[in-house]
Structure 1
Amino acid sequence: MILNFGSINLDLVYRVPHLPAPGETLASSSFMRYLGGKGINQSIAVARAGGTVHHIGCLGPDGGWLREQIAGFGLSLDGIATVDVPTGHAVIFVDEAAENQIVLFGGSNHAFTQDQIDRALAQASAEDWVLLQNETNLVPYVAQTAKARGLKVAYSAAPFDAVAVREVLDHIDLLALNEGEAAALASDLGRGASDLGLDHVLITKGADGAELHSADQVFHQGSFAVESIDTTGAGDTFLGAFMARFVDGDVAHALEFAAAASALQVTRQGAAAAIPDKAEVEAFLRVR
């Protein structure tokens, strides 16, 4: 099982002719609202890829619609607390080239308590993984407590903050970042992915695929050529799908499966709603 201590957002998505420049006012050609947030996107990706996931998160009193959406994806609501601050949300601009620009409001995602974390970790077994991102508070506490309990910890270093990464490096087993984040971290630490002393470092490279640094071996995975409509949530889909298969022990298959899942996801609009299920990914791979 994967215990994901992750963000839950209301995504407000605006389609624009191009990403706005400083001081520019743009007319949007469409508006949609979606369930989003790096954490819940990753949990949905794990579940849709056939993995077992328990999401731990926080919603404000205004989060009723999001609860309905989460339940609709087949995830349990047992680990999701209601807190007295507004639900986190994201304002997302998507341009004609499918590139995006995102502004986050943390809100309820910063309302985790140590008691909530301790209760969730007390349910874990030794073979379970904990998954973390930078959109919630108390990330170092979760990582340290999980490791002290003998659990494996995977950490997505996004939104990127070098200080936040340094705080958890000694308490994680898998670090996931994109190519730009990996370069920024290497510049900050003075050492690259292979020199971090971690069991696994996963680096996604967009159209250039991904690579996993594990011990003395580097696994490479190319990307699949598709026509992108919206790249929002593609990285979350990749990581969630990867973790669902990675816990089974087949690294090469996990990378290929994740690449296919994220390729399918960007051909659809939205984030969580666009994540393909296991059958769709397997069908896609059969014809590639």
Structure 2
Amino acid sequence: MTIWNLGSINADLVYAVPHLPGPGETLAATSMTRGMGGKGANMSVAAARAGAQVMHIGALGADGAWARDRLQDYGVDTSHIATLDHPMGHAVIAVDRKGENSILLFPGANVEIAQSTVRDALAQAVPGDTVLIQNETNNQAFCAETGSKLGLRVAYAAAPFDAQAVASVLPCLDFLILNEVEAEQLFAATGKRPADLDVTDVIVTLGARGCSWFDNANHSQRDFAALKVTPVDTTGAGDTFTGYVLAGLDAGLSMQEAIAQATRAGALMVTRAGAADVIPTLSEVRAAPF
């Protein structure tokens, strides 16, 4: 089967800093690198490296040819990435010595994707495929509604969190993943906890404490512990986890098996500095010493 990902593609400008800057603070960085990121690109690369066939739906500016080439190198099909008269998205990322980060995002071409691009891509999907969306592009609701009508598994990573964006796709969702803070924001906006949502599978990630899976079809909850590692950079770890979970499900793994594999991938990811460019392959995840 195939994962169709309507997702952002960014240039990540990563600055190593002694600590995350406070309001009004000028802080000298000790290094700077440019890599590829964006929640969409990260998830596409993660799913592809986990063994899935991934079709990325998105947009770049003329300045983003290098990112298209890199996605192809990583095994992602870029046939449905439009080139627009807008600069590509980029993120300015500060990473401190403990691996924590602070991100400033410019969406660029990511929020200029035409409905026709989404429609033409999903016209090639078949029932049983997965369509994945995040909150870093436009046309999320259109994509979710189209995917639902086509009989696709509709998955949503609710970040960056926006109550209106979540509300627009919630009726179409089969799979929802969000972190602990986002789950509280969703409750504040809707009055519903994960177990109360009309979504078959909900995963709430808990950082160093692991994650919880709400199997709402069977009214059950299962908690999964995180693996203990020394973090270097947490950028992209959640995206890696999401991509691996969906790739595992696409490959026929049970949810428990998919989460276990994704937990290993996420743990390995935080030991590396960077985003899409350093997401581990499935063979690396299986060989990891934990």
Q: TM-score, normalised by structure 1?
A: 0.97
2:229 aligned residue = 226
1:106 aligned residue = 107
Q: Secondary structure at the match of 2:43?
A: helix
Write the deviation string for residues 107-153 of structure 1: whole angstroms up to 9, x where unpaired.
Answer: 00011111111100100000101000000001011111111122110
Task: Read off the aligned partner of 2:227 and give its amino acid letter.
Answer: F
Q: CA deviation at 1:74?
A: 2.1
In structure 2, what is the Cα distance between the partners aligned to 1:54 and 1:65?
A: 18
2:205 aligned residue = 204
Identity %: 49
Task: Read off the aligned partner of 1:256 and give its amino acid letter.
Answer: A
Q: CA deviation at 1:77?
A: 2.1
Q: CA deviation at 1:76?
A: 2.0
Q: Secondary structure at the match of 1:135?
A: coil
Q: Secondary structure at the match of 1:32?
A: strand
In structure 2, what is the Cα distance between the partners aligned to 1:26 and 1:156?
A: 32
Q: CA deviation at 1:65?
A: 1.7
Number of residue pairs aligned between Structure 1 and Structure 2: 286
In the TM superposition, what are the counterparts of 1:135-284 in structure 2 within 5 Å?
135-214=136-215, 215=217, 216-247=219-250, 248-284=252-288
In structure 2, what is the Cα distance between the partners aligned to 1:46 and 1:277?
A: 9
In structure 2, what is the Cα distance between the partners aligned to 1:249 and 1:74?
A: 21
Q: CA deviation at 1:73?
A: 1.0
Aligned partners of 1:266 and 1:274 also within 8 Å: no
Write the deviation string for residues 169-195 of structure 1: whole angstroms up to 9, x where unpaired.
Answer: 101111110011001111221120000
1:76 aligned residue = 77
- Unpaired stretches in structure 1, ≥5 consecutive residues: none
In structure 1, what is the Cα distance between the partners aligned to 2:154 and 2:90?
A: 26
Task: Read off the aligned partner of 1:23 and give its amino acid letter.
Answer: G
Q: Secondary structure at the match of 1:263?
A: helix
Task: Read off the aligned partner of 2:11 and give its amino acid letter.
Answer: L
Task: Read off the aligned partner of 1:244 and give its amino acid letter.
Answer: A
Aligned partners of 1:157 and 1:165 also within 8 Å: yes
In structure 2, what is the Cα distance between the partners aligned to 1:97 and 1:249?
A: 34
In structure 1, what is the Cα distance between the partners aligned to 2:67 and 2:35?
A: 8
Task: Read off the aligned partner of 1:89 and give its amino acid letter.
Answer: H
Q: CA deviation at 1:270?
A: 0.1
In structure 2, what is the Cα distance between the partners aligned to 1:115 and 1:65?
A: 24
In structure 2, what is the Cα distance between the partners aligned to 1:156 and 1:74?
A: 21
CA RMSD for the aligned pairs?
1.0
Task: Read off the aligned partner of 1:273 and give its amino acid letter.
Answer: D
Q: CA deviation at 1:219?
A: 2.4
Aligned partners of 2:53 and 2:76 also within 8 Å: no
Q: TM-score, normalised by structure 2?
A: 0.97
Q: CA deviation at 1:64?
A: 1.7
Q: Secondary structure at the match of 2:63?
A: coil
Q: Secondary structure at the match of 1:86?
A: coil
Task: Read off the aligned partner of 2:87 and give its amino acid letter.
Answer: P
4+ residue runs over 3 A deviation? none
Task: Read off the aligned partner of 1:269 and give its amino acid letter.
Answer: A
In the TM superposition, what are the counterparts of 1:16-165 in structure 2 within 5 Å?
16-165=17-166
Task: Read off the aligned partner of 2:221 and give its amino acid letter.
Answer: V
Distance 1:155 1:235, change over 3 A: same
Q: Secondary structure at the match of 2:19?
A: coil
In structure 2, what is the Cα distance between the partners aligned to 1:74 and 1:45?
A: 10
Write the deviation string for residues 208-262 of structure 1: whole angstroms up to 9, x where unpaired.
Answer: 0011111212222111111110000000000001111023141111111011001
Q: Secondary structure at the match of 1:225?
A: coil
In structure 2, what is the Cα distance between the partners aligned to 1:171 and 1:283?
A: 37
- State which drifts further: 96-105 or 66-75: 66-75
